[in-house]
Amino acid sequence: MKILKSSFIMAAVMSVLMLTGCSNNENKNENGNDCQAQNSEVVSFDEVLMTRRSVRRYDASKTITEEEVRELLISTQEAPSWANQQPSKYYVAMSPEKVEAVANLVGERNKQNIAGAPVLIVSTFEKGKSGFFQGEPANEVGDGWGAYDNGLSNAYFILKARAKGFDTLIMGMRDSDALRTLFNIPENEAIMAVISLGYRADEPKQPKHRPLEEIAQFF
């Protein structure tokens, strides 16, 4: 009984510590995509971190469902935010018309990079929430905390996406005024990034990283 109990506890712990990934070899879903959560390989969090890339070539033959995008966006709600203000908002383009409209607003180079991505998402945050106390900035950063929280939320999104076998590219070059009009985004929201979501067409190279000694000091 003790052995069975220990095995059960270990299985429960492993299910919490591991994320679900996707095999690139077999098990296609009804959209012709690689498997998602069901019938898939188990991927460690370290593997998610190591395989996530800013992808600039997408497989146009593969699609993503609204249900799958919703699952990714639900994961962003687990991200921490200032006093749990949860300032991040997302505007999701999935129809061919909306995707094309957004693609035309991120610059010619980005447009080429995201060709074939079936989903484009505009990320914003509500101003005057994170970083504020009783309506006044709590410190010199002010609404910068809203951008900080939005970045954390986006990080959860792209990591969850990679765990599910998807790929992303975060783009800061965009026409914010035109995007605001396209999605009727309120003026009290700051438009941050446009995020492409799809499947990589090839394996992107790993960029070089700065030595730890250049980014951290220990005292």
Helix, strand or coil for residue 115?
coil
Domain count, the chain: 1
* pLDDT at site 41: 61
Task: Enter the tokens of residue 190.
Answer: 């700051």
Would 85 be classed as within a structural domain? yes
pLDDT higher at 34 or 127: 127
Please name the helix (run of DSSP H) or strand (run of DSSP E) that holds residue 120, with its range, or none.
Answer: strand 119-126
**Residue 186's domain spans which residues?**
53-203
User: Helix 96-103 and helix 176-183: axis angle, to 10°?
Assistant: 160
Would 147 be classed as within a structural domain? yes
Would 47 be classed as within a structural domain? no
Dist. CA 141–CA 147, nearest whole Å: 10
CB atoms within 10 A of CB 80: 10
**5-37 confidence digits (pLDDT tens):** 344 334 443 443 444 444 343 344 444 554 443
Would 157 be classed as within a structural domain? yes
CATH number of the domain that residue 99 is part of: 3.40.109.10
Would 187 be classed as within a structural domain? yes
Would 77 be classed as within a structural domain? yes
**162-208 confidence digits (pLDDT tens):** 999 999 999 999 999 999 999 999 999 999 999 999 999 999 999 99
